[in-house]
Structure 1
Amino acid sequence: MCHWSSHAVAVAFLISCVQTLTEPAKVVAQDESIPKSPISAVDKSQLPSGDGLAAAFEADRGIEQHRNVVFADDFEVEALGGKWDEINDRGNALSFIHPHANSSPTKHPQLGNRSLKVTATLGKNTGGGFTKWFSSADRLFIRFYTKFDQDCDYVHHFCTLRANKSLQGAERWSGFGGAGKRPNGEERFSTAIEPWGNWGKWNPPGRWNFYSYWHTMSASPDGKYWGNGFRPDTQPNIERGKWICVEMMIQHNTPGMDDGEQAYWIDGELRGHWKGFNWRTNSTLFANALTLESYVTDRWTKQSENIVYFDNVVIAKEYIGPASNAN
């Protein structure tokens, strides 16, 4: 276990570059070397909703023993970041707290006795979080619980799944950085589930949104390649002060084909499912690193202190669903 290396600090700086979200429905003039994207929303998705594999594990206890679970952390036992590979805790942004400290203890007994608290303070730090590298699969599901403090403002970066060339050495960093640049389909792609404020039009922290980079993505109006956004046409604002179950799925494409997918669920409800992604050009490139973080900048965030909580993180090869209640 280590704190961020000098290479990681440089990566974090690249990631922190100002980014502009491109609406997926508004395609600007595109590099002629990039084929037109066939991505479309799935109207009648066959993906599951409601209970998933987690229903068999009370409060997620023992869920890591399931044959299709790759990684799990409920923050109950280990030291801070004990199950993760990298810790970003500059400015002492990370701590543990009881998940019911500021709410009724009967609301979410499935979250146990300890949750991760991320405190981002303008002028002191940008927040923080953890990164985990793992052995991937053709289809991946990432599930976690989160809560935004009542005064939490807009968040610049949240939870990101990245594809890196390898799990070893410098190649495990190939999926980090590169803000504003179109990825090489043999080196990297990424997708993040995060709140988006629509340039301040929606109350903070905003609404759920995919923020994705891949080699056939659309350019932004400035000609650079900032992340492309994917979300349903309508959905409610994210409610602050409430624990939320968030799950995302990615299906890797067959290299040379547009058969990749992504989807996300909120509290077991499927909010959006998209097909037609050409995530990669090399069959050895897989999404293999999860960064769980709350990261803010003073571009959109004006509240001096911004607190986000996380709990019950699971990475699996099948739909996970909400955690079951503890008796």
Structure 2
Amino acid sequence: MRNTFTRSVSGSLAAVWLVAVAAFGIGAATPLFAQTDSPVQWVNDSPLSSGDGLAAQFSSDQNIASHPAVRFADGFESGELGANWDETRNRGEALSYVNPSAGDSPQAPSILGRRSLKVTARLGQNTGGGFTKWFESADQLFIRFYTKFDDDCDYVHHFCTLRANKSLRGGERWSGFGGAGELPDGKERFSTAIEPWGNWGRWTPPGRWNFYSYWHTMKASPDGKYWGNGFRPSSQPNIKRGEWICVEFMIKHNRPGKNEGEQAYWIDGELRGHWRGFNWRTSPTLWANALTLESYVTDRWTTQPQNIVYFDNVVIAKEYIGPSAAAR
């Protein structure tokens, strides 16, 4: 199935900085501070699939890890906390496994099984938490998970991030971590995160979906620092709280030094945005190979004392995954 888009907006989240990434043709909008020389362009007529993907073959994601395209899968149905992940950040006991129907929201869909990950961020006690998984990369990667924001959850600071590291071993597997506000080295790191963004409080918490990306040819913010550049469609609905949402995003690596990398994201199987022209890396040994699944909350963005987010049915694959199939 093909999806047609007409326009997009890109901007830095750490400063009011809007950058056009649209192809400035018929139907394209030119936002404030248009950056007409950017190689990153909105894909008007995306060839990417939507709706059902490989997950449609597996009832409630059961045995989905057996699919040859799947690199990693975790529905949190068994094992100790973080048993299938490589690193756990659980300061202040932010993480727990709960029934997916936890909270006051409607009954969770049966596709989520018996357990979900609950992240409870308590101001003054912790900043939330989550898991990190290193995995064997591929030219094109798809990451899909389900999430739910509690009914009174406020804005979050950072969410789920895919990072490129020089290696899967030793200290080099950490080359893609850190570096906030700094221009990445194309041989060392790049990253992209799918996050809710509140547009400086203009949108109802937790906001609207957005990419927050770092790479070596990114644009600087007005303060001269290199905060993540944002990518999102020019219009989309606010994220609903109290409901489970299927989130999926894709990254395609470029040949080193070429402006041909891509990224895209889907919400509940609907393709929301597709961009190409990224020069993610200059080294053939730099690959997106670590996923951090987290809800990170600070008092910079919220005064709500407690902010709860849930996760479930995480899959990393080499092809489009799509929403989980109904239990059979």
The alignment status of 1:79 with 2:96, answered yes or no, reads no
The alignment status of 1:123 with 2:118, answered yes or no, reads no
Query: Corresponding residue for 1:301?
Result: 302
SS at match of 1:231: strand
Per-residue CA shift, 1:53-101, capped at 9, x if unaligned?
A: 0000000000000000000000001211000000000000000110013
- Aligned CA distance change for structure 1 residues 176 and 20 (closer, same or farther; 3 Å): farther
Conserved? CA contact 2:89–2:129, under 8 Å = yes
- The offset of 1:19, in angstroms, is 4.2
Aligned equivalents of 1:49 and 1:77: distance in 2? 30
The alignment status of 1:24 with 2:25, answered yes or no, reads no
Per-residue CA shift, 1:105-142, capped at 9, x if unaligned?
A: 3x511000100000000000000000000010000000
Conserved? CA contact 1:84–1:132, under 8 Å = yes
SS at match of 1:143: strand
The alignment status of 1:324 with 2:319, answered yes or no, reads no
Query: Corresponding residue for 2:250?
Result: 249
- The offset of 1:256, in angstroms, is 1.9
- Aligned CA distance change for structure 1 residues 21 and 111 (closer, same or farther; 3 Å): farther
The alignment status of 1:68 with 2:69, answered yes or no, reads yes
> Aligned runs of 1:271-286 on 2, under 5 Å?
271-286=272-287
Aligned equivalents of 1:139 and 1:80: distance in 2? 29
Query: Corresponding residue for 2:212?
Result: 211
Conserved? CA contact 1:122–1:298, under 8 Å = yes
> Aligned runs of 1:89-168 on 2, under 5 Å?
89-102=90-103, 103-105=105-107, 107-168=108-169
SS at match of 2:65: helix
- The offset of 1:319, in angstroms, is 0.1
- The offset of 1:276, in angstroms, is 0.4
Query: Corresponding residue for 2:41?
Result: 40
- The offset of 1:22, in angstroms, is 4.1
Give identity over the alignment, percent: 72
Conserved? CA contact 1:151–1:306, under 8 Å = yes
Aligned equivalents of 1:261 and 1:29: distance in 2? 20
The code of the aligned residue for 2:166 comes to: K
Segments ≥4 residues shifted beyond 6 Å: 26-30
Aligned equivalents of 1:46 and 1:56: distance in 2? 22
- The offset of 1:20, in angstroms, is 4.1
Aligned equivalents of 1:73 and 1:22: distance in 2? 37
- Aligned CA distance change for structure 1 residues 261 and 29 (closer, same or farther; 3 Å): closer
Query: Corresponding residue for 1:186?
Result: 187
Query: Corresponding residue for 1:220?
Result: 221
- The offset of 1:173, in angstroms, is 0.6
- Aligned CA distance change for structure 1 residues 284 and 74 (closer, same or farther; 3 Å): same
SS at match of 1:23: strand
Per-residue CA shift, 1:288-310, capped at 9, x if unaligned?
A: 00000000110111100000000
Per-residue CA shift, 1:236-264, capped at 9, x if unaligned?
A: 00000000000000000011211100000
The code of the aligned residue for 1:90 comes to: R
Conserved? CA contact 2:18–2:34, under 8 Å = no
Query: Corresponding residue for 2:236?
Result: 235
- Aligned CA distance change for structure 1 residues 20 and 166 (closer, same or farther; 3 Å): farther
The code of the aligned residue for 1:158 comes to: F
In structure 1, stretches of 5+ residues that fail to align are: 1-17, 31-35
Aligned equivalents of 1:21 and 1:182: distance in 2? 18
- The offset of 1:28, in angstroms, is 7.3
Please provide the CA RMSD for this pair: 1.7
Aligned equivalents of 2:34 and 2:112: distance in 1? 47
Aligned equivalents of 2:85 and 2:102: distance in 1? 25
- Aligned CA distance change for structure 1 residues 104 and 152 (closer, same or farther; 3 Å): closer
Aligned equivalents of 1:142 and 1:275: distance in 2? 18
The code of the aligned residue for 1:24 comes to: V
Aligned equivalents of 2:256 and 2:323: distance in 1? 32
Conserved? CA contact 1:19–1:226, under 8 Å = yes
Aligned equivalents of 1:71 and 1:157: distance in 2? 22
- Aligned CA distance change for structure 1 residues 160 and 20 (closer, same or farther; 3 Å): farther
Aligned equivalents of 2:194 and 2:245: distance in 1? 13
The code of the aligned residue for 2:149 comes to: F
Query: Corresponding residue for 2:4?
Result: none
Conserved? CA contact 1:20–1:227, under 8 Å = no
Conserved? CA contact 2:90–2:130, under 8 Å = yes
**Structure 1-normalised TM-score?**
0.90
